[in-house]
Structure 1
Amino acid sequence: MSLELRPTVIIDVPLIVTEILLNPDQIIIKFPHGETADIGSLCYLKTAKDKRRGIKDIHFGRLVELESFIDSRRNQIRKLIKIISDQLNFGSKNSVTVKNSVDTFVSFIRWSDQNNFNNVLEDYENSMKIFISYSEFLNTRYSKGDISLKHSDTQQARVFNLLSIFFEQNTLSHETKNLKTTDFSKKSKSQAVKTYKKSINYEIRPTKIINLPFEDNVIPFPPEQSIIMFPTKKTLDVGFLCYLHVGPLKLINQKHVRFVQLKSLCETRKIQVRKLINLISDQLKLNNLSVETIHNHWNRFITFMKWADENKFHNVLDCSVSANNTLTFYSEYLSSKFSHQEISLKHATLQLLTVMNTLSTFFDGDNFRHKANSLKVSDFKKKLSTQLPIIIKPTIRYEIRTSKIIDLPLKIDENILNPEEVIIRFSNGRSVDLGALCYLKAEPVKEYKQGTSRYQKNGRLVHLQSLSNSRQDQIKRLITIVSDQLNHSGLRVKTIIDSISRFVAFMRWADESHLHDVLDSSDKAHNTLKVYSQFLREKFLRNEITLKHAERQHTIVIKILSDFFDEDDFGHGLFVFKSKFNISTATEPPCELAQARLLALCNALFKGIGSLVLDQKSYPYKLNLPEFLDLPNNFLWLFPAESWFKRPENAFIKRKICFGFNYRTGQLNTIKEIKILRGHSLRGDEKIIIEAQNNIDAANSNYRNSQRMHVATVAQNAFIVLFLAETGMNWAQLVDLTWSRNYQINSERQLFRTIKWRANGKECYFELSSGFMPIFKRYLQLRDFLLGNQPCEWLFFKLGKRGLGQPSQIKDSLHNFFKSLKKIDPNLTEIHSRQWRAAKSDWLIRNTDVSTTALVLQNTEKTVLSSYIAGSETKHWEEMSNFLNQVSNVVQGKRENTKNITLRAVGGCSSLGKPKSISEKIPIASNCVEPEGCLFCDKFKIHVDEIDIRKLLSCRYCVKKIAPLTSDQNTYENLIQPILNRIDIFVTEIKKRNNDLLEKIQYEVDEEGELETYWRRKLEMFMELGVVI
């Protein structure tokens, strides 16, 4: 065998950019954690036994015999790579686990090829038979001590799982054991490997006969000795099931006795056999079946148990799950024997039904009777019969089509000649393949990948003969609708991309469901949408998607179809998905201390670094920072180096770069200090000092030096944090902000300034406080410095590495910037745009109202209430503490010093005539006229004694009596409910101090009507007027 190198290419998995794998025989896949697997070599039947025979470069792959190439394997390997990619993309397993499974599966395929099982991936039936042989091979290796039991079981489980996924079968069990069978298909090799089993010493065991049925259900001797005798004098050896290794049947003393390996006695099985004997006894006593029938029934079950032990399903009776898995394989075993005409259909059916009924009785459940493995003879015949023709679906050839990219929005009078070729591209670079919808058959992919960037280069693979003429005009109209949305809807580009991608998913579902006429008319679209609604509903009920996802998908499809057919009520009469927005968790604003620390640090960085680059200060540069950082003299030294700063305590920790700079003193390091940093002294130490000085000179002579540009981007990021905190914008709004140097500043609101400019023919604006304007103007200077003479349409942008390169729109978050900040302040809390938005909302809610908050944040009131009204935890604790202190101050102890207390109808007053409300948001005014106003006054006092408790409870009694008189629900909630809630608060506090007294007075007031004098007269007045009965 001549082994040679083959052409190879390394492809990262999961697949992201392209789905087209043109030469799978060349592919070596690389996992996210860096390891590789040579999948492409499986296209060759003969390969090197070891991986690369000493070749260390992973690009070379495994040595192969080029003549052993199998063309049919190409599609199989292509499918396998996609399965691996999907497991990494959407599965719960990590990269290392998937890699281990792939290695195991590759080993299985190589073993199959070495043993001439070349058709292992052609169909499921053959693969299972080859897998059975592979299981036998592994168990043989285990019996020889070559591998552990855990290794054998793990190998089998991994292979079985991948085979099930590959052939789209339900995975039956991850604890697959060896399954013997003597028959293989004609395509398979009759025996994969020669196996040599260790000889087992079978012996006669002690036996005794039990006459059934017995009366007290007590087995007089150990179950492993039991041979049961039926009333007809027929015997059945049941006790041998207590032994896991059983020999041939022998006739001894007129009794059929099994030989066993005495050492294989299983204590667990003894308990199970005892239960089986009791079941047989109960059947004989209680069942109407004949003794002969019961005997045959249990004879069949013992046959099943013997088969299970022979194939190492020793845990078959341990639990219903184990029994279920074993039964699945037993069904396949009977199917195989029937297909090879070794048993009759009636025998196979009766054997399977007997076992299922017995297991149901044994585990006290009917789950085995309801298994899908055919309970009826006719169904079983459909499954097992070899006479039925094999239906092979014609394969569809998916090919690359001619494609072209069209930028949206369309130009005026731009005409689309060949819509089937169109891939639309948006301003942010994202693309959606709409042209592929002109073909009724396209390559199936995962639903959530439809319409996304996977196909932005070549487009989706399609069946070229499925091009629809009517669909071409429909897609042309759809492209026009998307273009108009970009021009006139005011929606963000990302929102439109999401909408059209979801619609593509709907169209692909319709085509795969053969509902190709979905866009032919409004009625047909409406009928298709009814089916789609049910489809989404079923997916939600199966927990495959969330209710929110279903609602959004459904709503977007209705909206686009409504635009397509120009019908406003297109969704009328359809099933409506309604998610509960109130269950979503509102964003909690960060605590005020975390906000203050971050803003102070970013402000210092922006001002300090801004001065360095804009005022052309020299290196080394002293950057002043806030006091809370605990820095000596509250500053850091900046140098023109890759490590542009270090905290002083880290200045002499060993490092690999920037040896020449002393971050503690702001000078160059001495040779002795360099030795400390390097751990040793070398001849080049003097050169390091010279190079460090040259870096400083270069940065000070060129004010657009790369090091200055780099720290200028740091200042830009610091300003972005300040800008987010100031405006409360979300991240998408910020990165989409355009800019023009021809801007205007207007004073439309006191203490605020509105910045306006025009971009792409549209007027743009945002509002800043007047105090923030100097900082914003300073940023515009920094922006001009970073851009130089380069044009840029974005207010915020990113440059290339270390501040050099062409400006482009920001796409990433500030994660790397926060990593740098944490080197300055290790205790820093990251605060992102959504949290700043919540913080601004929290301030507005506390100081204005919901409507004003929604207006400033440019949200609906519903969004503000559901997403931005959580309030900070610190503020919650502060408010709760104030509330408890307030209640505690109101409720006084014993009535000892009452000189300064004026008696009132509901308690006492510490300063009559000087009312002050405890909160401005309470609708009930605090005054010295109405008694209920006292409850919300900060001068209100209550003593825990009979006088004040009776006053308070009498007030509550009267308020409840007049509550039904309120004109509407709004009045009740604004006037009555606050009074009752306030009284309940005081009652709760009183209960803590004197519960016995409270319960006594509460009974007297509520049950016997013994009100305090003022409130009794008040109630009598209402009764005389006929208001209260």
Structure 2
Amino acid sequence: MSVNEENMVVRETVSLTPAQLREDIEHPENVRIKFDDSVRKAPFDIGSLSYIRRRFSSITWKDAEEPTPVILNSFRKERRDMLINIFDHISSSKYTDYSRLTKLNDVKSVVDECDQFGCSEFMENPEKCRFAYKALSIEWRHQIKIGKISNNKGAILQRTFASLIALCFSREQSTYILERINRIKYLRNPSKPPKEQHFNQYIKTTIALARQLKSFVVEENDFPIKLKMPDYETFVFHSHGGNLKTPYTSKQQNIYNFEEGRLATFDEWKGTVKGGLKSDYDASVSNFEEKNRNKRHERRIDFATLSMQAYMKIFILLTGAQPTEVKQLEYSDSFVLEKDSFKNDFRAIKFRARGREVSYSLGDSYGYALFKEYLDLRSWILNGTKCKYLFFSVIHKQNERKERSLVFRQVGSGRNFYRYFDRIKGVYVPKDFGDITSCPARKYKNLILSELKVSIETRASVLNHTENTNASDYTETTPERQAEEFQAHWDAVKKARQHLDLIGKENKNITTGHCVEEGEPESEIDNPPIEPDCKNPYGCLFCTKYSCHADEEDAHKLYSLLFVIELVRDESTNFAHAEKTFQILAIRAKEILKSMADKSEVHQVMINKIEKKVMVNGVLTTFWERRLDQYERMGIIASA
């Protein structure tokens, strides 16, 4: 839909924080949402989505600061309720501001596409909403096919639309709208992982930068900084550009002698520039001397922040913590090393943990030593100023009298969080290097822990397996193991049906069905992916004592189990581990349910009803609903 901006007006709006969205709002179409400045400075104009004819994207920063221009007579009254539902969701959730903004941007993208695709009436009733959802799902699949958008972008848009539908319509209406429209699956880790050599170079470079730049500023040494990197040595001077020579840089300033680590003499310098004046040379020397006299010069602060970012990256590589968690870590004066353990754990509010405190282990003494080094650097940067966050960003401010000062803020979100990599790429590491974020950090945690000199005992503990496993088995699956797993697959299929109890004998009611002899677990197949254990419901289906009644109650339990494990398989950041653990379990559950359906037409109808109840409408048993909620709080799966 083309929009003529000549007839558009900038309406009067009111800016509200997410907390203020809980209040009664008479005109939600005039609301803009104000987030923390570290997330977004200009208010987000959510109210403009009530108008189907509006400016869809901002051209300049100034445009973004102003309310979105709209054509007033294109107002859709039914979207007021949509906005109120969004406000309730945003204000009552424990999302971070950055996550709220991300979700709202996704909602805006969906509503924009509805309006541009001729589906502006999608909020009028379920029928029109179903038409829009189906039409856009087809369009997104087409755009994926021709390469206009990525598969995951399409999945996010469709998932966002489905979430918006769930907010604005009843459960029955939502089921009708989404029914029989295939979901675009989100592809986890579609790219190949970096090579081990890449990891080693990245980690060694990061440790070298963290420690050597920290020593430079804290010990108040003079420029140039002498860096000893894993595969080269260099001198780093004080200027912003051309101030160091590495295998990855191409332009250097002629005022520096990089071989000897000093300023060039006037005679050396003047032969390299046109019309080299003595006054220009003297000014460069004076500038160099000033930065060496002033031990808290802003250029020293710049190198201190690079060191701080490197220490933060080490922390992420060591723990696999998510950016949303790291941003929230708070500083405590009682981070004291006593017998290789701190009095207090780090504390963070994890976005997917909904307010729950999460602790991180740094491993053994080497990890603790790096952390204590960081605390020294942190103290030097703050220079007596207080900051609640363990990691923070540093901003140079200048007042009207041109007096400069430092402001300490929470680490930014999005691209701002990854500034460390932006600063080192093409300078300290090759330009074609890829960043190592928290997701591959978790996947390659064993390698990272080894490079950080963490003992094999600690590595085994952190990764939840034995030392022998860490030393020998934490590798790709061998052909022998593949054959073993393939045989287990077919054993599971053949034996699963034997557990169906059509009559419904009197035995112990459990979360996955029934148990013939509780407290006496016995594995039915060799080397099951989950050992039978009466304390772990996942192992029950591999136990000889397991029994399943051919009734609605046990079918509901099994489908609820299947719903949870399929979601874990889809959402898990460790895909290989989730598949290894749950694939055969899913097969067994499906075979039992299939066997139940095959008993009679009545059973087939019953199974179809329960399948829709659980797999489509998401109505789980109480136990598995709580387990799902627990997994969301723990961050094993993403919150809806």
TM-score by length of 2: 0.57
* Counterparts in 2 of 1:793 and 1:401: CA distance versus 1, 3 Å: farther
Larger gyration radius, structure 1 or structure 2:
1
Q: Distance in 2 between matches of 1:705 and 1:495?
A: 37
Query: Match of 2:54?
Result: 443
Q: 1:592 to 1:465 in 2, by over 3 A?
A: closer
* AA at the equivalent of 2:134: Q
Helix, strand or coil: the match of 2:360?
Answer: strand
Distance 1:748 1:515 in 2: 64
Give 1:684 deviation, angstroms.
Answer: 0.7
1:405 to 15, 26, 30: 15
Residue 345 of structure 1 corresponds to none
Q: CA deviation at 1:837?
A: 3.9
Alignment correspondent of 1:782: 377
Q: Give the match's secondary structure for 2:220.
A: coil
Whether the 8 Å CA contact 1:643–1:658 is kept in 2: the answer is: no
1:575 equivalent among 170, 173, 180: 180
1:718 to 284, 291, 310: 310
Runs (5+) with no aligned partner, structure 2: 399-403, 450-455, 466-472, 498-522, 529-640
For 1:912-951, what aligned pairs fall within 5 Å after superposition?
Answer: none
Question: SS of 1:598's equivalent?
Answer: helix
Once residues 965 and 671 of structure 1 are traced to their aligned partners in structure 2, the CA distance between those partners, rounded to angstroms, is 83
Change (3 A) 1:705 1:528: same
For residue 570 of structure 1, give the secondary structure of its aligned residue in structure 2.
helix
What amino acid is aligned across from residue 17 of structure 2 in structure 1? D
Q: Quick one: which amino acid aligns to residue 694 of structure 1?
A: S
Q: Indicate the SS of the match to 1:622.
A: strand
Distance of 2:247 and 2:122 partners within structure 1: 70
Q: Specify the alignment match of 2:635 in structure 1.
A: none
2:70 to 441, 444, 462: 462
How far does the alpha carbon of each residue in 1:568-594 deviate from its partner, in whole angstroms, 9 at most, with x for none? 883256233233556x65443322222
Q: 2:86 aligns with which of 465, 478, 489?
A: 478
Does 1 or 2 have the higher relative contact order (CA < 8 Å, sep 6+)? 2
- Aligned AA (2:192): E
Aligned to 1:588, what secondary structure does the other structure show?
Answer: coil
Q: Structure 2 vs 1, CA of residues 457 and 490 (structure 1 numbering), >3 Å: closer, same or farther?
A: closer
C-alpha separation between the residues in 2 aligned to 1:793 and 1:604?
24
Structure 2 partner of 1:754: 345
* Contact 2:330–2:347 (Cα < 8 Å) also in 1: no
Matched with 2:103 is 496
Aligned-residue offset at 1:546: 6.7
Is structure 2 residue 295 aligned with structure 1 residue 703? yes
1:402 CA drift (Å):
1.6
Moved more, 430-439 or 801-810: 801-810
Task: Assess if the C-alpha contact under 8 Å between 1:728 and 1:837 holds in 2.
Answer: yes
Please list the CA deviations of residues 720-742 of structure 1 after superposition, one character each: whole Å capped at 9, or x if unmatched.
33223212235x436x6124333
How many angstroms apart in 1 are the aligned matches of 2:267 and 2:283? Answer: 17
- Sort the Cα spacing of 1:500 and 1:432 in 2 relative to 1 into closer, same or farther, 3 A: farther
Cross-structure match for 1:639: 237
Partner residue in 1 for 2:220:
616
* Contact 1:405/1:424, CA 8 A, preserved across alignment: yes
Secondary structure at the aligned position of 1:410 is classed as helix
Corresponding residue for residue 470 of structure 2: none
Partner of 1:768: 361
Report the CA distance shift for 1:777/1:807 in structure 2 as closer, same or farther (over 3 A): same
Residue 557 of structure 1 is matched in structure 2 by 161
RMSD, aligned α-carbons? 5.4
The equivalent residue for 2:587 is: none
- Structure 2 partner of 1:839: 444
1:797 alignment counterpart: 393
Pick closer, same or farther for the CA change 1:663–1:712 going to 2, 3 Å. same
Aligned residue runs from structure 1 range 858-869, under 5 A = none
SS state of the match for residue 361, structure 2? strand
Instruction: Map 1:310-389; keep pairs closer than 5 Å.
Output: none
Do the aligned partners of residues 455 and 772 (structure 1) sit closer, same or farther apart at CA in structure 2, a change above 3 Å counting? same
| 1:101-500 alignment runs, 5 A limit | 397-410=7-20, 414-427=23-36, 428-429=39-40, 431-439=43-51, 441-443=52-54, 445=56, 456-465=64-73, 467=75, 471-472=79-80, 475-485=83-93, 487=94, 492-500=99-107
**1:779–1:828: structure 2 CA closer, same or farther, 3 Å change rule?**
farther
State the one-letter code of the partner of 1:795: F
Instruction: Find the residue that maps to 2:345 and give its secondary structure.
Output: strand
Tell me if the contact between 1:551 and 1:579 (Cα under 8 Å) persists in the aligned partners.
yes
Q: Give the aligned partner of residue 132 of structure 2.
A: 532
3-state SS of the aligned residue for 2:157? helix
Secondary structure, counterpart of 1:442 in structure 2: coil
Q: Which residue of 1 aligns with 2:503?
A: none
The yes-or-no answer on 1:684 pairing with 2:282 is no
Per-residue deviation, 1:709: 1.3
Q: Give distance in 1, aligned partners of 2:247 and 2:102.
A: 48
Taking a change above 3 Å as real, the CA distance of residues 724 and 751 of structure 1, as seen in their structure-2 partners, is same
Q: 1:854 to 1:964 in 2, by over 3 A?
A: closer
Deviations 1:550-575 (A, max 9, x none): 55434433333433456488325623
Q: Would you say the 8 A contact 1:419–1:475 is kept in 2?
A: yes
> What is the percentage of aligned positions where both structures have the same residue?
16
| 1:900-923 alpha-carbon deviations (Å, 9 max, x no partner) | xxxxxxxxxxxxxxxxxx98x997
Counterparts in 2 of 1:830 and 1:818: CA distance versus 1, 3 Å: farther
- The counterpart of 1:738, out of the listed 328, 333, 342, is 328
Give the Å deviation of 1:437. 4.1
For 1:458 and 1:648, locate their aligned partners in 2 and report how far apart those are by CA, in whole Å: 45
Q: Residues 642 and 658 of structure 1 are in contact (CA less than 8 Å); yes or no, is this contact kept in structure 2? A: no
- Amino acid paired to 1:775: L
User: C-alpha distance in 1, partners of 2:72/2:359?
Assistant: 50
Asked whether the 8 Å contact 2:32–2:46 carries over to 1, the reply is yes
Tell me by how many angstroms 1:772 deviates: 1.5
- Runs of at least 5 residues in structure 1 that lack an aligned partner in the other structure: 1-18, 21-74, 80-396, 519-523, 857-870, 884-917, 925-958, 976-1029
| Structure 1 position 650, deviation (Å) | 11
Does structure 1 conserve the Cα–Cα contact (< 8 Å) formed by 2:33 and 2:43? Answer: yes
Amino acid at match of 2:362: S
Deviations 1:806-851 (A, max 9, x none): 445433365785664644555984433144343228889xx99xxx
SS in structure 1 at match of 2:194 = coil
CA distance in 2, matches of 1:674, 1:426: 51
- Tell me how far apart the structure 2 counterparts of residues 574 and 547 of structure 1 sit (CA, whole Å): 21
The residue number in structure 1 matching 2:537 is none
Q: Superposition pairs for residues 804-883 of structure 1, below 5 Å? A: 806-807=407-408, 809-810=411-412, 811-812=415-416, 814=418, 817=421, 820=424, 822-824=426-428, 829-833=433-437, 834-840=439-445
Aligned to 1:362: none
**Corresponding letter in the other structure for 1:536:** L
How far apart in 2 are the matches of 1:964 and 1:605? Answer: 52
CA distance in 1, matches of 2:33, 2:345: 36
Letter in 2 for 1:779: Y
Give the C-alpha shift of residue 618 in structure 1.
3.0
The normalised TM-score by structure 1 is: 0.37
The structural deviation recorded for 1:435 is 2.0
Shift of 1:677: 3.5
Q: 1:578 to 1:563 in 2, by over 3 A?
A: closer
Q: Matches of 1:534 and 1:474 in 2, distance apart? A: 19
* Distance 1:434-1:681 versus aligned 2 partners, 3 A rule: closer
* 2:207 matches 1:603: yes
